[in-house]
Amino acid sequence: MTSPTKSSPLNIHEKAVIDRTALDRLFECLKDRGFRVVGPTARDGAIIYDELGSTSDLPVGWTDEQEAGRYRLKKRDDKALFGYVVGPHSWKKYLFPPRQRLWMAKRNGRGFSIEKNDPPENSKFAFIGVRSCELHAIGIQDRVFMGDKFIDPVYKSRREQTFIVAVNCGQAGGTCFCASMKTGPKAESGFDLALTEILNKKSPYYVVEVGSAAGAEVLAEIPHRELGNKDEQAAESVVAEAVSQMGRTMETGGIRELLQDNPYHPRWEEVAKRCLTCANCTMACPTCFCSTVEDATDLTGDHAERWKRWDSCFTMDFSYIHGGSVRQETSSRYRHWMTHKLSTWHDQFGSSGCVGCGRCITWCPVGIDITEEVKAIRASSS
Most confident of 11-15, 102-106, 315-319, 360-364: 360-364
Please write the tens of the pLDDT for every residue from 350-361.
Answer: 999 999 999 999
Kind plus residue range of the DSSP H or E element containing 294: strand 291-297
Please write the tens of the pLDDT for every residue from 1-28.
Answer: 445 665 667 899 999 999 999 999 999 9
Using the Cα atoms of residue 36, residue 97, residue 286 and residue 289 in order, give the sign of their dihedral.
Answer: negative
Buried b (16+ CB within 10 A) or exposed e, 60-69: bebbbebbbb
- Please report, in angstroms and rounded to a whole number, the separation of the first and last CA atoms in the chain: 56
pLDDT band at 60 (very low <50, low <70, confident <90, very high): very high
Q: What is the mean pLDDT of residues 362-369?
A: 97
Q: What is the pLDDT of residue 133?
A: 97
| Cα-based torsion angle of the residue sequence 41, 280, 295, 94 in order, rounded to the nearest 10 degrees | 30
Kind plus residue range of the DSSP H or E element containing 309: strand 303-310
As a whole number of angstroms, the distance between CA 83 and CA 41 comes to: 12
For the chain, what is the mean pLDDT? 93
Percent residues over pLDDT 70 in the chain? 97
As a whole number of angstroms, the distance between CA 160 and CA 158 comes to: 6
Buried b (16+ CB within 10 A) or exposed e, 199-218: beeeeebbbbbbbbeebbeb
Please write the tens of the pLDDT for every residue from 306-315.
Answer: 999 999 999 9
The residue among 298, 378, 260 whose CA lies nearest residue 105 is 298
Q: pTM for this structure?
A: 0.93
Q: What is the pLDDT of residue 189?
A: 96
The residue among 304, 305, 325 whose CA lies nearest residue 314 is 325
User: Read out DSSP for 361-374?
Assistant: HHT-TT---HHHHH
Asked if the bond preceding 185 is cis, omega within 30° of 0, the reply is yes
Q: What is the pLDDT of residue 382?
A: 61
pLDDT of 117 higher than 80: no
Q: What is the pLDDT of residue 1?
A: 47
List C-alpha distances in Å: 224 to 128, 352, 368: 18, 38, 45
As a whole number of angstroms, the distance between CA 245 and CA 174 comes to: 8
What is the crossing angle of helices 213-220 and 21-32, to 10°?
120
pLDDT of 345 higher than 80: yes
CA 333 to chain centroid: 23
The residue among 274, 283, 261 whose CA lies nearest residue 359 is 283
Please write the tens of the pLDDT for every residue from 243-291.
Answer: 999 999 999 999 999 999 999 999 999 999 999 999 999 999 999 999 9
pLDDT band at 111 (very low <50, low <70, confident <90, very high): confident
pLDDT of 326 higher than 80: yes
Q: What is the pLDDT of residue 324?
A: 84
Main-chain phi, psi angles of 142, to 5 degrees: -60, -45
Q: What is the pLDDT of residue 148?
A: 84
- Look at 54-58, 124-128, 140-144, 294-298 and tell me which has the smallest mean pLDDT: 294-298
As a whole number of angstroms, the distance between CA 355 and CA 143 comes to: 14
Helices (H), 4-46: 21-32
